[in-house]
Structure 1
Amino acid sequence: MAMPLIGVTTYLEPAAWGVWEMPAALLPAGYPRLVQAAGGLAALLPPDDPAQAESVVSRLDGLVIAGGADVEPVRYGAEPEERTGPPARDRDAWELALIRAALVSGTPLLGICRGMQLLNVALGGTLVQHLDGHIGGVGVFGAHTVKPVPGTRYAEIVPEESSVPTYHHQSVDRLADTLVASAHAEDGTVEAVELPGAGWALGVQWHPEAGDDMRVMSALVRAAG
């Protein structure tokens, strides 16, 4: 049986390695390693023409929208606040197009951190532009407990409260009408969202690629198989 092909979106950033310094498509190695450990084949998807999203998604068995820069507030009808980071407009446009193509085609979709936020925005939700307490320090993952909502897909995957690696300063504000919240942090922050029904679309606010709990990624790979 062929292993499911899972596309994972990437950053596009200036980078340096060896004798080279130039723009690069980047992705922390934890993402493809987690896909591979869960039984999938990882294909990296750097920002591209949004018009190509449908064609790209048609070649995939599953899609992961990775973490990264803040979503530009104009995408959900807001002005940037003082602590909102610089926009990544190419990523926003590309990843929103990928999300919409995956939802139309029924391709299993997992949004991680920024990816969960983009899923909410793609479906008409909004974001809190800054909150405290969800990082361990600059460049250091924090950890906190998330509690699943009974009866949700996430609760089927991870039925108990669990500690997760976290690094974000934005979160869901108004939840899109078609999504349901499926986990919360102790402070009430929405930590997982999902699209109910026959399709498979889940977003988690934390970073499973930075931990050792494979259940979320394994569930995506099973759905893609």
Structure 2
Amino acid sequence: MASNGSDPHSPDPAAGPRPVIGVTAYGERASYGVWDHEAVLLPRTYPDVVIAAGGVPVLLPPVPESAAAVDRLDAVVLAGGPDVGPDRYGASPHPRTGQPRPERDAAELAVLRRALDRGIPVLGVCRGAQVLNVGLGGTLVQHVPDVVGHPGHNPSPGVFGTTEVTLEAGSRVGAALGRAASVRCHHHQALDRLADGLVVTGRAADGLVEAVELAGSPFVVGVQWHPEEDATDVRLMAALVTAAATARR
């Protein structure tokens, strides 16, 4: 995570300050020390990987005002988290669908719209890929085992599984990671009907959509896995940071 020239992911000092990357955060009840109250929080792996990739992380709380903050950012990461409310894509809740978070859904959809309007890079992570699809008019599979017949994408609560993904040559994700990748995953929902403009650029062996990109955009990518969970590989986040620096120039 060094910020000097020995770090291959550090930006060139001549190119200006490090890109500022907004990361959407959770709104949850949390306990720490002597406190037990509502909190805005995010797994530390997200800011750590943004820093390692050469960016400056800024947390975006799940409130409507976060959309206005996008005007001061160079890129946005839509983080993982709970299920998107089925009402957002015109579906009735599945018995296994989690409790909706209307405030977070509304805030992240607004952040996404503002980022797309501004033309800045976007990376959707797990839930974030689903927000990207829903925000553009797509739908979701509400319980993946119903479709693929196994629980491998979400092996157990709080445990990340490993998924082998095949990526399209020439795609943003393929350029960063190559034609195949072994990725960390923890999700029981996934993309179903793709929104107009989204193109599938990665699939798991069982056919599940693992990566999408918005056609015609410099860098609008959604991945169903968690790249922030592998601190040894920041290539995808570095691709976002590079795209942010390029867009700013």
TM-score (norm: length of structure 1): 0.96
Residue 185 (structure 2) aligned to one of 166, 176, 192: 166
Q: Distance in 2 between matches of 1:199 and 1:89?
A: 30
Q: Which residue of 1 aligns with 2:219?
A: 200
1:49 deviates by 1.8
Q: Which residue of 2 aligns with 1:79?
A: 92
Residue type of the alignment partner of 1:140: V
Q: Which residue of 1 aligns with 2:137?
A: 124
C-alpha offsets along residues 46-81 of structure 1, whole Å, 9 cap, x if unaligned?
Answer: 11126x51x211100110000000000010000001
C-alpha offsets along residues 5-25 of structure 1, whole Å, 9 cap, x if unaligned?
Answer: 000010000001100100000
Q: Which residue of 1 aligns with 2:116?
A: 103
| Cα contact 2:168–2:179 (8 A) shared by 1 | no
1:198 deviates by 4.0
Q: Distance in 2 between matches of 1:163 and 1:136?
A: 16
C-alpha offsets along residues 95-151 of structure 1, whole Å, 9 cap, x if unaligned?
Answer: 001101111110110000000000000111000000132023111000010000223
Q: Which residue of 1 aligns with 2:233?
A: 213
Q: Distance in 2 between matches of 1:150 and 1:201?
A: 16
Structure 2 segments unaligned to the other structure (5+ residues): 1-15, 145-150
| Cα contact 2:78–2:128 (8 A) shared by 1 | yes
Aligned-pair identity (%): 54
Q: Distance in 1 between matches of 2:50 and 2:101?
A: 25
- Structure 1 consecutive aligned stretches of length 4 or more whose deviation exceeds 3 Å: none
Q: What is the RMSD computed on CA atoms of the aligned residues?
A: 1.0
Count of residue pairs brought into register by the alignment: 223
Q: Which residue of 2 aligns with 1:12?
A: 27
Q: Which range moved further: 143-152 or 68-77?
A: 143-152
Residue type of the alignment partner of 2:157: V
Residue 62 (structure 1) aligned to one of 75, 83, 92: 75
Q: Which residue of 2 aligns with 1:48?
A: 63
C-alpha offsets along residues 166-189 of structure 1, whole Å, 9 cap, x if unaligned?
Answer: 000000110111100110001000
Residue type of the alignment partner of 1:151: G
Q: Distance in 1 between matches of 2:40 and 2:217?
A: 34
SS at match of 2:73: coil
Residue type of the alignment partner of 1:186: A
Q: Distance in 2 between matches of 1:136 and 1:37?
A: 28
Q: Does 1:141 align with 2:160?
A: yes
Q: Distance in 2 between matches of 1:214 and 1:188?
A: 25
Q: Distance in 2 between matches of 1:48 and 1:17?
A: 23
Q: Does 1:37 align with 2:52?
A: yes
Q: Distance in 2 between matches of 1:166 and 1:209?
A: 11
Q: Distance in 2 between matches of 1:36 and 1:136?
A: 29
Residue type of the alignment partner of 2:216: G
| Cα contact 1:99–1:122 (8 A) shared by 2 | yes
